[in-house]
Structure 1
Amino acid sequence: MSTKQFNKDNVFFGITPTSWWNDDFLDIDIGIPFEQCVSEMALAGFEGCSVGHKFPTDTDVLREALELRGLRVSEPWTSTYFTIKDMFDKTVADFRKSLDFIKTMGGTDIVVAELGGSSHQQPIALKANRPIFTEQQWEDVISGLNHIGQIAKDEGMRLCYHHHMGTGIETRADVDRLMESTDPDLVHLLFDTGHIAFAGDDPLQLAIDYADRIKHVHLKNIRRPVMEASDAGQFSFKQSIEAGIFTVPGDPEGFIDFDSILQTLADNDFEGWLIVEAEQNPANATPLVYAKMAREYLRKVTGF
């Protein structure tokens, strides 16, 4: 059995603000302010975070608030729309804004997902209504990602593609096609354990097969009974979140085998951000409790 460990100088633990409020569905919110969110992230033992809609947009203000708490930005999110009409220029412009932001904040990774036709933000059955790309749409998203991936590389940054529920790149088969068709020097993989499990595929096998392409990780756990209820009831993404489908690694209510996933990443010399992401309703899941649960689990498994 492997005992290889992460190089703690090159692996960083972060968390998203989606346990404190939701950035897709703004009514999933109990009024926790930005300052409390980032203070609790630091208190739980994390060193970085993605950005949410309550974060200051002034980079000087944001940097000061994060540095005060020993935090830094792990990644900005940028939605791409290469598969729908007349959105190429705006997609590239938005990506360049994210690129400028993360460079200013001292980071390296930009997270993107193709949301053309996505069902995940709509009040409709999530899986039944997700887009199935035509051949032309596949060509458009592949060429578009290679294009902005080159922009990122030229600036010393990394584009990390996030496979996502409700989108045209949701399942293992979709990820396979994306990885086979894009330039590995330009398009890296953001591996999201929860999204690939929710899609019905094996997160451990994805980690094994694409270890060389994975440059950024979202650690999201799933409560199997809620997933089964969501599938049976044709829930929307929001309904699934409100029902409690997601939780953190280390929660015994989740079913994903993070021990094996983390060992696989360590065995393949993963370097970069491991980001805890559990989109939970803070009214039902106290954010600090779950943030501490996740960090304690990661400390136990990795030793730091």
Structure 2
Amino acid sequence: MKIRQDRLAINPLQWVASAEGWIDPALAPPLDRQLSVIRDAGITALHSAVPGDMTPEAYAARLADHGIAPAPGYIPVRLTEDAAARQTYRDSAARVAEQHAALGVPVVFLAMGMAKDAERVARPAVGHAARRDRLEEVRDLLAGIAGIIRAEGITPAFHPHVGTWAETEEETRFILDTVDASLLSFGPDMGHLAWAGADAAGLVRDYADRVASVHIKDLDLGLAARAREEAWDYRTTVRAGLWSEPGHGNADIEGFVDALPDGFDGWLIIEVDRGAQDTPEDSVRLCGEWAAGYV
């Protein structure tokens, strides 16, 4: 399946991947440096993340200066009993959705967020400590935040993620089956689903009418299976070399893309949390080479 070039984007996590196997935004180089490397790699769209000191309009103009368009960004939320924290998540979701509306990006990924000390970060990808009542709380939280996003005219796409209370195929299906499609769409990440042992392509086929945009991630499936069996934690698994640039692991990217419905016009966003290359720039370049083969 060929993909429109203007629907291929990147979330350049290579620059913020820390040595401990986590994500540290403080590691990011200046935005203009990132944009130059991304454009030189032949990638023409970027996961939207408006810096705190910029307006959406200024951000869009900066991207346009480099020949890059904005693509769907990301909203993480967590379960909490703290009322102030819950309000912060609601306010953040409204702000990011409003930014997407200003950027002209109609979709945003909505996921449960991670914390370094979370139970499932210590025991990821196996549905550790699963409980139906907590899953219902997760469902209700996502549905509530989805309503806030919809109020801004933006489509929220549920994004299962390893290390959170919504990571497995069973949990993914429960949330999609119990939240109305008119409220919550689907934004699968093939890499995180595969890490959790899920059939990502099967989920895309089963919920084809709800897939709004997707994340493309390649990985070492054998290492993922070993990590699950030997109870490695999240950061140990990442440091061991889980992720790779598209086409450099053994995930079935082609099968995942081919599972997308005919006429699919959502975004495919490439992510490499921690690549196998010497530098982030080399990693981004390889992402661009892979993308060129899909248009």
* Smaller-chain TM-score bracket: 0.7 to 0.9
- Identical aligned residues as a percent: 21
Residue 54 of structure 2 is matched in structure 1 by: 58
Distance 2:139 2:121 in 1: 28
User: Could you tell which deviates more after superposition, 92-101 or 124-133?
Assistant: 124-133
1:293 to 2:269 alignment:
no
Aligned pairs (5 A) from 1:116-265:
124-127=122-125, 130=128, 132-135=130-133, 137-251=134-248, 254-265=249-260
Residue 263 of structure 2 is matched in structure 1 by: 269
Are the equivalent residues in 2 in contact too, given 1:207–1:264 (CA < 8 A)?
Answer: yes
Q: 1:236-281 CA distances to partner (integer Å, 9 max, x unpaired)?
A: 2222222221112222xx111111221221x432112100001015
Distance 1:130 1:68 in 2: 46
Distance 1:159 1:202 in 2: 22
Are the equivalent residues in 2 in contact too, given 1:216–1:274 (CA < 8 A)?
Answer: yes
Are the equivalent residues in 1 in contact too, given 2:114–2:163 (CA < 8 A)?
Answer: no
TM-score normalised by structure 2 residue count: 0.85
SS for the counterpart of 1:218 is strand
1:45 to 2:42 alignment:
yes
Distance 1:209 1:51, change over 3 A: same
Residue 15 of structure 1 is matched in structure 2 by: 10
Distance 1:179 1:56, change over 3 A: same
Size of the alignment, in residue pairs?
290
TM-score normalised by structure 1 residue count: 0.82
Are the equivalent residues in 1 in contact too, given 2:219–2:250 (CA < 8 A)?
Answer: yes
Higher helix share: 2
Are the equivalent residues in 1 in contact too, given 2:202–2:259 (CA < 8 A)?
Answer: no
SS for the counterpart of 2:64 is helix
Displacement after TM superposition at 1:197 (Å): 0.4
- The CA RMSD measured in Å over matched residues stands at 3.0
Are the equivalent residues in 2 in contact too, given 1:25–1:238 (CA < 8 A)?
Answer: no
Aligned pairs (5 A) from 1:72-111:
72-82=69-79, 84-86=81-83, 87-111=85-109
Distance 1:124 1:154, change over 3 A: closer
Displacement after TM superposition at 1:179 (Å): 0.7
Distance 1:133 1:62, change over 3 A: farther
Displacement after TM superposition at 1:63 (Å): 2.4
Residue 113 of structure 1 is matched in structure 2 by: 111
1:71 to 2:65 alignment:
no
What amino acid is the match of 1:14? Answer: A
